[in-house]
Amino acid sequence: MHVSDAIAARKSIRAFLDTPVSTPLLEQLLLGAARAPSGGNVQPWRIYVINGPAMVRFHEHLNEPTANESPAYEIYPQGLTEPYRSSRFKVGEDMYQLLGISRDDRPARILRLMENYRFFGAPAAIFCFIDKQMGPPQWSDLGMFLQSFMLLATEAGLGTCAQEAWATKAETVARFVQSPAEEMLFCGVAIGYTDEQAAVNSLVSDREPLANFTTFLD
């Protein structure tokens, strides 16, 4: 598969088959993703893999009662301005429309949102952490690692969905993976074989035209 094909084929998958994912395959994808560039080659990603019996234990862990926790970081800036605000709104509305969930059906929307905390039924996942001393440059390195991982997963026939939703359960996740105090959670990535029958997976999100995000100087 050419890189351009993997880029075109990758999209966020939000319904998975229960077909298991092999741990050696995950190892191979992580090793490949670690070829991503990072400023000064600091390689700031710290990854925890949840697969097989660990996934069963993780779901049990999630069911244990916990105190309310505050998000690890602010997922979107407060008062997000245009055009970013509309973009965010549109992808959500497109998804709910595909699922036949109307704008005023709040309970159905909340139930759908809660699917995040089941990894959308994915049998495997990774959590991506970073040392708290790191700043925006190193966080962007995480993005490169994650995109490399998702493209390699696409090539291997797997579907993925990056999930910052887990930032709202960062303490619960940290307790389970036993990450050291100096690390913080960035996001989870749901991993598995795509349920091609699920309407939600037919979503192809919009992109801004080139002229909206690029300036060619004379």
Ligand X SMILES: Cc1cc2nc3c(=O)[nH]c(=O)nc-3n(C[C@H](O)[C@H](O)[C@H](O)COP(=O)(O)O)c2cc1C
Q: Report the nearest approach of ligand X to the CB of residue 206 (Å).
A: 9
Residue 162 sits in the site that holds ligand X (CB under 6 A): yes
Determine which residue in the list 29, 47, 158, 161 makes contact with ligand X, applying CB under 6 A: 161
| Smallest gap from residue 78 Cβ to ligand X (A) | 18
Question: How near is the Cβ of 33 to ligand X at its closest, in Å?
Answer: 14
Assess 33 for contact with ligand X (CB under 6 A).
no
Q: Based on the shown chain and the rule CB under 6 A, indicate whether residue 151 belongs to the binding site for ligand X.
A: no
- Tell me the torsion sign for CA atoms 118, 119, 122, 123: negative
Only one of the segments 10-18, 65-73, 173-181, 194-202 lies at the binding site for ligand X (rule: CB under 6 A); that segment is 10-18
Per CB under 6 A, does 154 bind ligand X? no
163 touches ligand X (CB under 6 A): yes
Binding residue count for ligand X, defined by CB under 6 A: 12
Task: Residue 90: name the closest of 211, 203, 206 by CA.
Answer: 206
DSSP string covering 151-209, please?
A: HHHHHTT-EEEEEGGGGGGHHHHHHHHT--TTEEEEEEEEEE-B-TT-GGGG-------
Determine the residue type at 191: I
- At 125 the three-state DSSP class reads strand
12 lies in the site for ligand X, by CB under 6 A: yes
Q: For residue 19, what is the DSSP state?
A: -
Interface region with ligand X, contact rule CB under 6 A, candidates 11-19, 78-86, 96-104, 170-178: 11-19
Binding to ligand X by residue 164, rule CB under 6 A?
yes
Each residue 90-129 as x (binds ligand X by CB under 6 A) or -, in order, gives -x------------------------x-------------
Q: Report the alpha-carbon distance of residue 20 to residue 122 in Å, rounded.
A: 9
Q: Is 17 helix (H, G, I), strand (E, B) or coil?
A: coil
Which CB sits closer to ligand X, 115 or 131?
Answer: 115
Assign 3-state DSSP to the chain and report helix, strand, coil percentages, each to 5.
50, 15, 35
- Measured in whole angstroms, the distance separating CA 5 from the mean position of its chain's CA atoms is 20
Residue 205 sits in the site that holds ligand X (CB under 6 A): yes
Q: Which residues bind ligand X (CB under 6 A)?
A: 11-12, 14, 91, 116, 161-165, 187, 205
